[in-house]
Amino acid sequence: MQVELDTYDRRILAVLQEDASLSSAQVAERVGLSQSPCWRRIQRLKDEGVIRAQVSLLDRKKVGLNTQIFAEVKLNAHGRSNFAEFTEAIRGFPEVLECYVLMGAVDFLLRIVTSDIEAYERFFFEKLSMVPGIQEVNSTVALSEIKSTTSLPLMR
């Protein structure tokens, strides 16, 4: 369910998307509100689930995760009936950062990070290819990253 957001809510969210470590007083100053109303708005946005979590974003290469792979997964007919089993297995793989159900020629798109190609090969043969119901996996290695953001385009 979509939540109604006014201009101040959008400004608050834009600021927090860039730096969630700011205090409510710092956010208030940046959006043009006093501290108490800003804090109440932030709490409401958390209560309504608009703000799902506050996390630290890491540089994957600085922690040794130098390889990023996009894998298209196609399930066989029997595999489609075991959708829940497939999704549970994928959720259990820390290498898989994102998984999307697709409409079209393939069933899922996975974003996977590993230290190198050899680590991906191990992941593929020891984990991913062992998931029941997979018919086909097409993997594409990302050479470089042009844009990567977690910020949603909120300001209209």
- DSSP letter at 92? T
Q: How far does CA 48 lie from the centroid of its chain?
A: 20
Q: What is the pLDDT of residue 79?
A: 65
CATH number reported for the structural domain that contains residue 111 in this entry = 3.30.70.920
Q: How far apart (Å, rounded) are the C-alpha atoms in residues 22 and 128?
A: 39
The total domain count for the chain is: 2
The answer to whether residue 134 is domain-embedded is: yes
Same domain, 38 and 65: no
Q: How far does CA 19 lie from the centroid of its chain?
A: 17
Q: What is the pLDDT of residue 84?
A: 87
Q: What is the pLDDT of residue 110?
A: 98
CATH number reported for the structural domain that contains residue 21 in this entry = 1.10.10.10
Six-digit token string for 45: 């946005």
Q: What is the pLDDT of residue 82?
A: 79
Q: pLDDT 10s digit of each residue in the chain, 156 long?
A: 899 999 999 999 999 999 999 999 999 999 999 999 999 999 999 999 999 999 999 999 999 999 999 999 999 877 667 788 899 999 999 999 999 999 999 999 999 999 999 999 999 999 999 999 999 999 999 999 999 999 999 976
Same domain, 67 and 108: yes
Range of 85's domain?
60-142
Q: How far apart (Å, rounded) are the C-alpha atoms in residues 16 and 21?
A: 8
The answer to whether residue 39 is domain-embedded is: yes
Q: What is the pLDDT of residue 78?
A: 72
Q: What is the pLDDT of residue 81?
A: 76
Single-letter residue type at 144: S
The answer to whether residue 147 is domain-embedded is: no
Six-digit token string for 96: 């898989």
Same domain, 93 and 40: no
Q: Is this model's pTM higher than 0.95 or not? A: no
Same domain, 74 and 137: yes
Q: What is the pLDDT of residue 155?
A: 75
